[in-house]
A and B are shown apart, each in its own frame.
Chain A
């Protein structure tokens, strides 16, 4: 008993201080992935039953509204393509590198961390699909988090609202650079070290600033919700609401930025797998 106890303590220390155990952890995760799949069955079958029971009429309505949305998104995409081209020409004139489109891979949520103090989810794409540790994760509305562990078939995503997570952000209106830290509460971020005199207002949009080379530039992170100035304190307390639906998104996007490897795609044409066109098809594959 003492031996195993000491061995566990040693393992924990090694795991906390180094990355030597990541390989064995991912092997065990792969071996026990059936447990995660079984645990997801009730939810999955509940969704299936809801789909079975929904009437023809409502399905038809859903399809037509989705088709309308698709057309709108297509138009926007075409505009985007023109804008991107123009942007790159302008960057060319300025002598800076052209900005490439980020490739994304659509993944589905298959589990959440049962500990309510940890904001973590499990998604159904893993190393086999090219997912890597540190990869940024988005949903349709904004930045969701980053990958902290991968196994063969699934990976673990730390949400931006976790206490242990921070994102470098930028205020869209004033270009003020800040750090947004999770609070452990679902729909809340806290901005660190905001000067009392800083140019920030309630309702300001926060974008990822791309500093630190972890997250891509320019994705929405949150909206400033509340600013409290405390007399005598050098920093204001600023809270923000995340843009991504952290507790509701079923489909998430794993981003492959320009500098990183591209996704290993087995069923998707890589030409079409850029962000603007894939985000539309993501919802369609839910059935």
Chain B
């Protein structure tokens, strides 16, 4: 596999594979025996993958990738076209400005910043939902950011392991 990821094309393909895994996790239906309310805890996996790649490879994944991923997520979730795209572009911008600092942090310190980013993401989405009249604002909107930040260290370690094993650069 390493030979595949040596070149630029291989790296880009592997990065988008992780994005697609994030999208699958974003829409996978909960089994019937789990109460539907737990859906409020589902973190925004695509945003987490995005933040990881921007920290790790800012020359490969940037604002344009964030926008494309956002449009795909919009279509998947049936939200307004451009809603997640806008939110992802904003957190990508923040992450692009912070990546050098974040590389120095321990994973739990990173998780704190990721919490802020995911919170911003949720906030933008709920604002747009509110303006479009889709749903009402409630503090529950911040739960996915909380669960996302809590799961960040594991997501980070898995993605870093993948990046090193595949030699993506």
Contacts and interface: CB of A to CB of B under 8 A. Distances in A.
Interface of A: 1, 4-5, 7-12, 14-16, 21, 24-25, 28-29, 32, 35-36, 38-40, 42-43, 46, 111-118, 120, 148-149, 156, 163-164, 184, 186, 247-248
A1 B93 contact: yes
A25 B75 contact: yes
27 contacts: A1-B89, A4-B67, A5-B86, A7-B82, A8-B70, A8-B85, A10-B82, A11-B80, A12-B81, A12-B83, A15-B80, A15-B81, A29-B75, A36-B27, A42-B28, A46-B31, A111-B29, A112-B29, A113-B78, A114-B29, A114-B77, A116-B37, A117-B129, A117-B135, A118-B78, A163-B135, A247-B36
B63 interface: yes
B27 A5 contact: no
Interface of B: 20, 23-32, 36-37, 39-40, 42, 63-64, 67, 70-72, 75-78, 80-83, 85-86, 89-90, 92-93, 128-129, 132-136
Contacts of A42: 28, 31
A146 to B, nearest CB: 14
Nearest to B39: A116
Contact of B132 (A16, A24, A38, A40): A16
A184 B133 CA distance: 13
A111 B29 CA distance: 6
Nearest to B78: A156
Contacts of A7: 82
A36 B67 CA distance: 20
B89 A4 contact: yes
Given A46-B31, A164-B134, A5 B23 contact: no
Nearest to A14: B81
B89 A28 contact: no
A35 B69 CA distance: 13
A118 B134 contact: yes
Nearest to A184: B135
B86 A1 contact: no
Given A4-B64, A12-B80, A39 B36 contact: no
